[in-house]
Amino acid sequence: MIRKYFGTDGIRGKVGIAPITPDFVMRLGYAAGQVLAQTEFGTLPEPNRPTVLIGKDTRISGYMLEAALQSGFAAAGVDVVLAGPMPTPAIAYLTRALRLNAGVVISASHNPYDDNGIKFFSAQGTKLPDAIEYEIEAALERPLKCVSSEHLGRARRLDDAPGRYIEFCKSSFPNEFDLRGLKIVVDCAHGAAYHIAPHVFHELGAEVVAIGNQPDGMNINDKVGATDTAALSQAVQYHHADIGIALDGDADRLMMADSTGRIYNGDELLYLITQDRLTQGCLSGVVGTLMTNMALEIAFEALGVPFARAKVGDRYILELLRERRWILGGEGSGHLLCLDKHSTGDGIISALQVLSALRRHDKTLPDFFAGITMFPQSLINVRVADGTNWQTNSALMYEIERVEEELGKNGRVLIRTSGTEPLIRVMVEARTEQTAMQMAQRLAAHLMPG
């Protein structure tokens, strides 16, 4: 089946343009409420009817979409708990901790402020299965029929949501360690963790310099955060910090910097956490994605660590982890999953796993990367018309064959369609940066108009 609205990470788009409009989002809340009522409880009256938790990031459009979602759920007879601005993984945790039936996050993650989106979590704090998303899409095609007044949903606010989540994050850090003596720059991307992340690291003992912590509704991800790490690198050097942490707008991605301002991406942090877990004897295997750097695959083989690649996207990493019954996975963009700590990717908790490894082994970030050199990757995003199928481009397919033949075992090509934007992503990995860039440009040229 082909999903009409749901992509790899919920429903996302430009605010004011379908489907990110108030009327659609109200219908989405109603449709999701209907599916929840049937799936979880049947159509039972209060107090046994379903309850969902709604959180959001700091985009100005969140106010509008929150109201629309709340109306849709109420019309379906579903109660709502409003958490306000909270990281995506916080909603996953609180949904599970409060024994609610689903969690909903209003966020477009790393996208600009004028985008927004809706993503759902199950009662277990995991992304919804495809089958449930199909059911919601089918329900969207039916007319909205409000339940009778006595069965309308109610809404209340969860005032202590930040405090609950801060304590949860801290609980993932070993009791025998603290962060005293460390000066840490924390870049919150003017996003959902602005009032949470600095407190987590400070309460564990670190001296914290917070940046990207002044959201105004329109500056989320703007030259800050995990998708633009120049600000983090500069701040670490300026403040003579020991380490830097950058989150994205909804705080499920992580990038880090050492004391020189050198940035470490998700692939590198995954490798570090893998080494730490090996010494603890609690690692069965690691899941990466089609984009995971070849150097990791080679390094994992040398360490005797089983490694598997999933499709790009944290939901697919999670699916493969469950299938293999493994606990550790991630991707270069900064999504890291430690399933013994949380049910979903979490930037703050992932950072704490890195920091606990540094404490446990008394090492710095660079110490963990002696003997491994990452393959340079060149990634070009080509904006295309919706529905473009790059596999029907005969000139591109011929050029791919030529490039792969030239690379041999010293690199690889990956071309894929974005699941969240009208883009074709062209990635080439090679032994040298120049080779990777030149070959990526050769391939991307066949997708350019004219």
> Which sequence positions are flagged as catalytic?
109
Angle at 148 between CA 144 and CA 149, to 5 degrees: 115
List, as one string, the DSSP characters of 233-258.
Answer: HHHHHHTT-SEEEEE-TTS--EEEE-
Give CA–CA dist 130/107, Å, rounded: 20
CA dist 87 and 58 (Å) reads 10
Nearest in space to 300 (alpha carbons), one of 288, 316, 311: 288
CA-to-CA distance for 6 and 29, rounded, in angstroms? 14
Which amino acid is residue 126, in one-letter code? T
Instruction: Report the sign of the C-alpha dihedral through residues 187, 193, 194, 196, in that order.
Output: negative
Amino acid letter for position 282:
C
Give percent helix, percent strand, percent coil of the chain, each to the nearest 5: 40, 20, 40
Buried b (16+ CB within 10 A) or exposed e, 23-39: ebbbbbbbbbbbbbbeb
Whole-number Å distance between alpha carbons of 38 and 287: 34
- At residue 103, the 3 state secondary structure works out as strand
**Number of Cβ within a 10 Å radius of residue 426:** 26
Q: For residues 360 and 363, what is the distance between their CA atoms, to the nearest angstrom?
A: 8
Contacts of 183 (CB under 8 A, 6+ apart): 206, 207, 209, 239, 240, 241, 242, 243
Q: What is the rounded CA–CA span in Å between residue 412 and residue 403?
A: 9
- Pick the closest to residue 76 from 39, 37, 42 (CA basis): 37
Alpha-carbon span 450 to 442, nearest angstrom: 15
What the block records as the tokens of 445 is: 């040229």
Return the number of other C-beta atoms located less than 10 Å from residue 450's C-beta.
Answer: 2
